[in-house]
A and B are shown apart, each in its own frame.
Chain A
Amino acid sequence: MKCNDEIVELMHEYLDEEIDPKNEMILREHLKGCKECEKLFNEYKKTIAVVKGTSRMQAPPDFTAKVMASLPKEKKKVGMQRWLRNHPLIAAASLFLVLMMGSVFSTWNQEREFSVSKQDNLVVQNDTVIVPEGEVVKGDVIVRNGKLKIEGEVQGNVTVINGEQYLASAGHVTGQIEEVNAVFDWIWYHMKKTALEVIDIFNDSDK
């Protein structure tokens, strides 16, 4: 039966609804003349009809409820997100705090280098700044990451950040002496400085 293989292939194409008109003609023509193929074709069609004809099953009425009851509980993350949505101010405040702390610490780390305020008669030896005997330094003296030795006179405030200062018996400071060593001291120092600057601005504008 040479006809079978090719024709059966066409039957499947037909049943898949993918047969082109030309092949459909060939199939129909063949079926008219070939009882055996016609029988086979009808058996296929009947098979499909009975399979399709099986009754449609319905899920049990409480199916959805059962599924919903066995879902895992909402994750903590969702609860957290909801909390954040409900408390936007606290969320914003804590975010601000985190970012601010970050910038403070990075500034602290950046300023690890030795530096000193610029006054002509200050003498720098390695990381030690000396106010020489008999000299008068005008203005505030700020030393970062280094030592300060005062043998002469400073007309202004003295600030030593992350270092130490030594005031010789002959030395003299007209303003305040301040040492800042730990990061929290440093923060406090910055805050005070900022506050004083703000007050200064107001004082200036008053004048």
Chain B
Amino acid sequence: MDALIKKRIKQVIKGDQDAFADIVEIYSNSIYQLGYRMLGNRHEAEDIAQEAFIRAYVNIKSFNQDLKFSTWLFRIATNLCIDRIRKKKPDYYLDAEVSGTDGLTMYSQLSSDTPLPETELESLELQESVQKEILKLPEKYRSVIVLKYIEELSLNEISEILDLPLGTVKTRIHRGREALRQQLRYV
């Protein structure tokens, strides 16, 4: 598949727009999935995925063909998602509180003080509650968790996508895991 992608990229660079369709087809689900898990609704997921592909097309000449295309595409898409999350005013203030000092203090307090009520849990499907908890994560933990456990990418790839040192990626995954555990252990 990598060979096919490389061939299509060369064709696109030469000006063959139609060759881009295969690239979109191959990655559409994973990019859409990333958008959905990061942003929480289908409409925005589609929007962001479309924009990611258009940006990839427009900037295809700046893509270093020796590198992995999916890493580059994920980087574009993840950055778009993060930008959008930052622009949205959150209707809860966990993000704002958390980003300052130690990431998860607020979460720890929240989880110990107000665990999800049992009635709510019963009414929600497991899927929905997991999605909800992912969306509650501050953006910097959300992106690593989604890339690691939804997209199933390696720590090295995640570090390239987010342009962060491997150690930082690990720390964020550990904290994200801890936050999710505190929320989801009642499920």
Contacts and interface: CB of A to CB of B under 8 A. Distances in A.
Interface of A: 12, 15-16, 18, 40, 43-44, 46-48, 50-60, 63-64, 66-68, 70-72, 74-75, 78, 81-82
Contacts of B45: 57
Given A46-B185, A50-B184, A58 B57 contact: no
Interface in B166-187: 170, 173-174, 177, 180-181, 184-185, 187
A189 to B, nearest CB: 46
A51 B180 contact: yes
A63 B173 contact: no
A194 B48 CA distance: 68
Contact of A47 (B17, B28, B50, B181): B181
Given A16-B173, A56-B33, A59-B46, A51 B145 contact: yes
Contact of A48 (B15, B24, B149, B170): B149
23 contacts: A12-B170, A12-B177, A15-B177, A16-B155, A16-B170, A46-B185, A47-B177, A47-B181, A51-B149, A52-B152, A53-B126, A54-B150, A56-B33, A57-B45, A58-B32, A63-B32, A63-B49, A64-B24, A67-B28, A68-B17, A70-B50, A72-B57, A81-B15
Contact of B180 (A47, A57, A68, A71): A47
B141 interface: no
A51 B49 contact: no
- By secondary structure, the B interface counts as helix
B21 interface: yes
B132 to A, nearest CB: 11
Contacts of B118: none
Contact of B46 (A16, A60, A71): A60
- By secondary structure, the A interface counts as helix
A54 B177 contact: no
Interface string B14-58: 010110110011001101110011000000011001100110011
B161 interface: no
The 5 closest A-B pairs by CB, nearest first: A78-B15, A59-B32, A59-B28, A57-B33, A51-B149
B5 interface: no
Contacts of A64: 21, 24-25, 28
Given A54-B131, A74-B17, A75-B15, 13 more contacts: A16-B173, A18-B155, A47-B184, A50-B187, A51-B149, A51-B184, A54-B37, A59-B49, A63-B24, A64-B21, A67-B24, A68-B20, A70-B50
Contacts of B29: 56-59
A81 to B, nearest CB: 7
Nearest to B145: A51
Contacts of A52: 149-150, 152
Residue with the highest number of chain B CB atoms closer than 10 Å, among A12, A47, A58, A78? A47
A43 B181 contact: yes
Interface string B99-139: 00000000000000000000000000011001100100000
